């Protein structure tokens, strides 16, 4: 293991992250996405300087170490919004279960019908779930974590455009309902958009994002194996 | 300013909870990733008051603020898959688009039915 190379790859990652974060705060737009920008910058630097993905691995392992505790930390927003959750428990649960099930089933079936490979189809299944959990679900089902992370971000970007358009088209005006849909369809990126709409939408979206992640991790193994079988 | 003396033990506690989730996943044979059980475990510990939120709050907020950073290294693994996007980009976007649209429409419909039952006249 070349220590200098590990140090350089980590420095490149931190640099790309800080620069992308600065750009996304300066030009706030769903397409100016921190993860997309950083990933593109890092891949460009590695390709130009001839660094391979296997040389990135040691640094990768060190940086993703915090993803585990960060996932546990997702319980905090859920706990802070527990009041809005318990007051609307039944509609929240039915909404998330129906939406998430239809989402996964449609995505997997369309991907399968369009002839995408098995690894790709599995990696698509948890696309509406927040990245750290989607990645674990993907690994668990023998999908590819890097593919899943990119599908999740793409879903988040698409969801932030699509959700308000479809909700307005179908005249869904209830702020609670709008919040649940944002969080279930477009995870953290949807929650940011929901917060911009209003605080009720934002809290509800945060709750939905956490619960949808938990439900998906229980439902995905069952659903994916049946749809692919 | 971040108070490292407070944040470091808090992140350590979150790490212990995460590892407990992994341990639970292993002994229970539940087909669920350990980190999800860690999250559920922390939620239960907070609800029951075993862990006061002040014990983990600052560390959790710091990790969540920079959540994107921790999965950028995973996304870089995409380097090996660039060919897939050239070959099947349209199929991938179709699957993502149709799945998300179906989700929004079903949830919108469900919420309308619920609002109808509650108000007794249908529609919101």
In a mutational test of the A interface, the residue from B108, B114, B118 whose CB has the highest number of chain A CBs within 10 Å is B108
Pair B1, B39 in one domain: yes
Pair B81, B111 in one domain: yes
Record the tokens describing residue A226, joined without a space.
Answer: 């049946």
Pair B58, B30 in one domain: yes
Write out chain B residues lying below 8 Å of A163, CB-based: 104
B70 located within any domain:
no
For chain B, say whether A107 makes contact (Cβ under 8 Å): yes
Q: What is the pLDDT of residues A59-69, one digit of tens each?
A: 999 999 999 99
- Give the span between the Cα atoms of B54 and A215, in whole angstroms: 27
Q: For residue A55, which of A47, A16, B67 has the smallest C-alpha distance? A: A47
A70 located within any domain:
no
Pair A38, A81 in one domain: no
Pair A144, A191 in one domain: yes
- Give the span between the Cα atoms of A193 and A202, in whole angstroms: 8
Pair B16, B57 in one domain: yes
Closest residue to A72, CB basis, from B18, B88, B102:
B18
Pair A145, A214 in one domain: yes
Give the count of beta carbons closer than 10 Å to the beta carbon of residue A96: 27
Pair B53, B85 in one domain: no
Q: What is the pLDDT of residues B32-45, one digit of tens each?
A: 999 999 999 999 99
- Write down the ipTM of this complex: 0.90
Provide the domain count of chain B: 2
- Give the span between the Cα atoms of A60 and A39, in whole angstroms: 13
For chain B, say whether A175 makes contact (Cβ under 8 Å): no
| Coil, strand or helix at A27 | coil
- Give the span between the Cα atoms of A150 and A155, in whole angstroms: 9
Closest residue to A95, CB basis, from B19, B91, B111:
B111
Indicate the pLDDT class of residue B112, thresholds 50, 70 and 90: confident
Give the count of beta carbons closer than 10 Å to the beta carbon of residue A227: 16
């Amino acid at each position: 293991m070349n220590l200098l190379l590990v140090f350089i790859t980590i420095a490149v990652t931190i640099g790309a992250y800080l620069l992308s974060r600065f750009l996304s705060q300066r030009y706030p737009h769903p397409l100016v996405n921190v993860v997309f920008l950083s990933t593109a910058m890092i891949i460009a630097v590695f390709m130009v300087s001839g660094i391979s993905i296997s040389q990135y691995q040691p640094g990768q392992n060190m940086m993703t170490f915090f993803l585990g505790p960060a996932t546990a930390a997702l319980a905090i927003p859920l706990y802070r919004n527990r009041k809005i959750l318990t007051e609307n428990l039944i509609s929240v649960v039915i909404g998330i279960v129906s939406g998430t099930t239809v989402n996964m089933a449609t995505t997997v079936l369309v991907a399968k019908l369009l002839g995408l490979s098995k690894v790709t189809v599995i990696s698509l299944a948890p696309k509406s779930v927040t990245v750290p959990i989607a990645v674990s679900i993907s690994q668990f089902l023998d999908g590819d974590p890097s593919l899943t992370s990119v599908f999740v971000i793409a879903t988040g970007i698409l969801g932030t455009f699509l959700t308000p358009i479809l909700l307005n088209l179908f005249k869904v005006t209830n702020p609670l309902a709008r919040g649940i849909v944002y969080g279930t369809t477009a995870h953290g990126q949807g929650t940011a958009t929901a917060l911009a709409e209003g605080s009720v939408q934002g809290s509800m979206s945060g709750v939905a994002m956490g619960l949808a992640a938990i439900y998906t991790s229980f439902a995905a193994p069952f659903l994916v194996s049946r749809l692919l079988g | 300013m971040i108070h490292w003396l407070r944040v470091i033990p808090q992140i350590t506690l979150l790490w212990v909870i995460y590892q407990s989730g992994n341990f639970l996943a292993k002994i229970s044979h539940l087909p669920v990733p350990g980190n999800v059980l860690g999250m559920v475990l922390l939620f239960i510990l907070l609800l029951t008051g075993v862990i006061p939120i002040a014990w983990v709050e600052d560390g959790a907020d710091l990790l969540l603020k920079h959540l994107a950073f921790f999965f950028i290294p995973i996304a870089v693994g995409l380097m090996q898959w660039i060919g897939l996007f050239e070959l099947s980009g349209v199929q991938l976007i179709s699957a993502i688009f149709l799945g998300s649209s179906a989700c929004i429409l079903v949830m919108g419909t469900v919420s309308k039915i619920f609002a109808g039952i509650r108000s007794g006249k249908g529609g919101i």
